[in-house]
Chain A
Amino acid sequence: MAVIRDVMPAFDLLQPSSAADAQKILQDSGSDAWVMAGGLDSFDWLKDRIKKPKVLVDLSGIDELKGIRVTGDGVEIGAMTTLTEIANHPEIQKNYGVLSQAVSVVASPQIRNQGTLGGNVSQDVRCWYYRGGWPCYRAGGNICYADTPVGRNREHAIFGADRCVAVHPSDSVPALIALDAKFVVQTAKGERIVDAEDYYVGPDLDITKINMLEPGDLLTAIRIPSTWAGARFYFEKVRDRNVWDFPLMNVASAMKLSGNTISQMRIAVNAVSPRPMRLKAVEAAVQGKPADATTGEMAGKLAVEGAVPLQFNAYKIPLMRNLVKRAIRGLSPQQVKNGLAGDPEVQEATWNS
């Protein structure tokens, strides 16, 4: 994409100060409107002139959508709460550490200061053909440019592809799935509360959509029940650079143990499929088994069953196997102390075994 050094094309900027006003504006404007939270996803589209909305609805002035409330049954995070605030919140750090870990590795510090949880979970895919304005399936066209023998598809899907092979890029979503979070969506017909994984729409269902939001809908909050508070968590993100990059893959899990036996587990991976992927088969298979490397090995093999690699992303299969294995085995005290990045053996294993 050529770099365009210019201001964006004109749009009407509306800055509602309440969620009700925002929803009214969105319902009146229909598909002409573009919802902007932190704006980090929006500006790429607008500056590159790929999307040209007539009306931009800026949610940053709506205070009721911001902040973290500790409720009787868990926490409720306003959709416009910044990632930095979530990463630093004591209650989230203490009881829902997997989310705090996940949001603290998103992009860069400045982006986390501005990016919101609602925006992070609702962002669009990062396939460069689609982002570059190529008329691909997802853009309403009739071809996929990534899934060809020479297409640049190192970052693309190994599961769930249906014409479109782009992956969902969010880091926070697998953590939210592991925590069994619920998304609160305001629609024209009233409030809907959906499970984190059900918020997303795969290309098999509707190829031009990434989530369930229809024009006029607004994601207002994310509720995390206390069910998994203080469970044993695991989060890991693999990427090329330690800043800015979207995940090549990430994994998040929450595990309840009795002794060293897994009594219950939730695990999700992202950047492997157009929808964030919850590994239900793994969850069922590890129940009642010890949380060790052997179980991890078995679960890893199970997790990658049915994977279909493209020309340049076969590495994602061993990567996923290993990430799932590690989520179940957990970290050694040494690794906890030094961090995964400081452990050459771990780095080696990520790519080779």
Chain B
Amino acid sequence: MSDTDELKNGESPSKSITRRRFILGVIAGGAAVGAASYRFLTPHGRTYSTGERLITLNVNGKPRHVEVMKQETLAWTLRYKLGLTGTKLGCDRAECGACTVLIDDVPHYSCSVLTHTVRGRKVTTVEGLAAADGMLHPVQQAVIDEQGFQCAFCMSGFLMATVGFLKANPNPTRKELAHGISGNLCRCQDYNKILDAMMRGAEYMRSGVPAGKAASAELARRA
């Protein structure tokens, strides 16, 4: 059933099980089953003291309790344990940037960080960019206004890389910004538009999002 069907029936999308919620449910269930099987992957015939340990992470400003394997990467934890699927896994080899998150406000490839090493540090994913009231981050707003992406698989990585870069360099030239977010790939080759959007995002961060631009309410409802 598409969104338009729902609307025709006069039913609020929030009352039925949306596709998004269904997927999140499946992920949560799959993670539980999947994690149980990994517990037994011990290649040296050695019994490990713990397959998983309950730890507390600071993700998007909230303490999150989660059971984590020692060899688990942050991208894995975020996506399959915490359901934060905005962080994408492209290459899983630190070569594409899709999994970029901020750790203590600095961009990192979350596919190449062990979750256990970020205890006590501040992790920000794309889900944590918008304000609590649903107001989009200025860079997110700029992406909407510039229609910065084509397929947008790489978008959350680019957003996090840009937000992290702008924290250190709030007023970059286009060239500096391009260099700053050069650790992210776009297979649609949409780099010019991405840079347009991110430059506008930098401008919004300095001077504020123009009135009437904010599409936050609509997006908050859909999320």
Tell me the A residues contacting B by CB distance below 8 Å: 3, 5, 7-13, 15, 39-40, 43-44, 46-47, 52, 54, 56, 58, 60-61, 84, 107-111, 113-114, 242-244
B161: A residues at CB distance < 8 A: 109-110
13 further A-B contacts with Cβ under 8 Å, apart from A12-B70, A40-B94, are: A5-B92, A7-B38, A11-B70, A39-B114, A46-B71, A58-B114, A84-B106, A108-B94, A109-B180, A110-B94, A110-B109, A111-B109, A114-B112
A44: B residues at CB distance < 8 A: 93
Known: A15-B117, A58-B117, A109-B180. A9 touches B108 (CB 8 A): no
Known: A47-B93, A243-B182. A109 touches B165 (CB 8 A): yes
Tell me the B residues contacting A by CB distance below 8 Å: 38, 41-44, 46, 48-49, 51, 69-73, 76, 89, 91-95, 97, 100, 106-109, 111-114, 116-117, 161, 165, 179-183
- Let me know if A244 and B180 touch, CB within 8 A: no
Considering the complex of A and B, which 7 residue pairs feature the smallest CB-CB distances, nearest first?
Answer: A108-B183, A13-B70, A8-B71, A110-B183, A109-B183, A243-B182, A9-B43
Q: List 26 A-B contacts (CB under 8 A).
A: A9-B41, A9-B71, A10-B38, A10-B41, A10-B71, A13-B70, A13-B71, A13-B114, A39-B114, A43-B93, A44-B93, A56-B70, A58-B114, A84-B106, A108-B182, A109-B107, A109-B161, A110-B107, A110-B109, A110-B183, A113-B106, A114-B108, A242-B182, A243-B182, A243-B183, A244-B95
Interface of B is mostly: loop
- How near does chain B come to A201, taking the closest CB pair, in angstroms? 26
- Let me know if B48 and A111 touch, CB within 8 A: no
**Inter-chain CB contacts under 8 Å: number:** 97
A5: B residues at CB distance < 8 A: 89, 92
B165: A residues at CB distance < 8 A: 109
B73: A residues at CB distance < 8 A: 7-8, 43
A107: B residues at CB distance < 8 A: 183
A10: B residues at CB distance < 8 A: 38, 41-43, 48, 51, 69-71
B107: A residues at CB distance < 8 A: 109-110, 113
- How near does chain A come to B37, taking the closest CB pair, in angstroms? 10
